[in-house]
Chain A
Amino acid sequence: DMKVTQMPRYLIKRMGENVLLECGQDMSHETMYWYRQDPGLGLQLIYISYDVDSNSEGDIPKGYRVSRKKREHFSLILDSAKTNQTSVYFCASRLGGSAETLYFGSGTRLTVL
């Protein structure tokens, strides 16, 4: 069963705390993504990972970092969270080229107080 799993689904943190969002996929996809979605802005790309330890910044990487030590796991880390990082975060994966489908997780709703 092809699946992208995100944990947790909901998270509330205080400003300045560290945040770890986790994503896993069971399809051995090489490429994985982190997006955030805010009302009226669609999906904004934070980071792309092309494989283990092969990560590239997306459009809005500031304030975030990522880790990919295994092909099936891709983590998003917020060191010292800020209130403007309140958002819904989506992880996605894809097998290969640009004609391939993205598979998305169900999202993590992060609230930073």
Chain B
Amino acid sequence: GDSVTQTEGQVTVSESKSLIINCTYSATSIGYPNLFWYVRYPGEGLQLLLKVITAGQKGSSRGFEATYNKEATSFHLQKASVQESDSAVYYCAPTGTQVVGQLTFGRGTRLQVYA
């Protein structure tokens, strides 16, 4: 099975509502990695949204937050109040230790925010 599982497909949210995109990873496959969320806005390449390299710590950027939960092997992305400009595809990407330099990406979650 996948070593990274995130909320599949498309998520549609009304502006100003809250959002959570789930991400879990397999510690068996990846170990205890550094954790990243990348975002791809329309017409652009992926760019870093936030990262956390220490278990228990929280990363935040542009109103998004994610906490590295080592026990649950999760790194869920949350935002209290989304905006139309947040419409994009979000990728969870743990950096594994099994292969030097290799990231494993989730399949991506497309967020559509409507006014």
Contact = CB atoms under 8 A, between A and B. Distances in A.
B51 A106 contact: no
A41 B34 contact: no
Nearest to B95: A98
B101 A90 contact: no
Contact residues on A (Cβ < 8 Å of other chain), bracket: 20 to 34
B45 A98 contact: no
Interface in A66-113: 90, 92, 94, 98-99, 101-107
A101 B36 CA distance: 8
Contact of B46 (A6, A45, A99, A104): A104
B51 A101 contact: yes
- SS class of chain A's interface: helix, strand, loop or mixed? strand
A99 B38 contact: no
B34 to A, nearest CB: 5
> Of A35, A40, A50, A104, which is in contact with the most chain B CB atoms at under 10 Å from its CB?
A104
B48 interface: yes
Given A42-B108, A58-B102, A98-B33, A106 B95 contact: no
A48 interface: yes
| Interface of chain B, main secondary structure | loop
A43 interface: yes
Contacts of A102: 36, 38, 46, 48, 93, 103
B58 interface: no
A40 B102 CA distance: 20
Given A40-B107, A42-B91, A42-B106, A98 B101 contact: yes
B107 A94 contact: no
Contacts of B29: none
In the A-B complex, the 7 residue pairs with the closest CB atoms: A104-B45, A42-B107, A98-B95, A43-B105, A104-B46, A106-B45, A99-B53
Given A50-B101, A92-B46, 17 more contacts: A41-B107, A43-B108, A45-B102, A48-B101, A94-B101, A98-B33, A98-B34, A98-B95, A98-B96, A98-B100, A98-B101, A99-B95, A101-B48, A101-B51, A102-B46, A105-B45, A106-B45
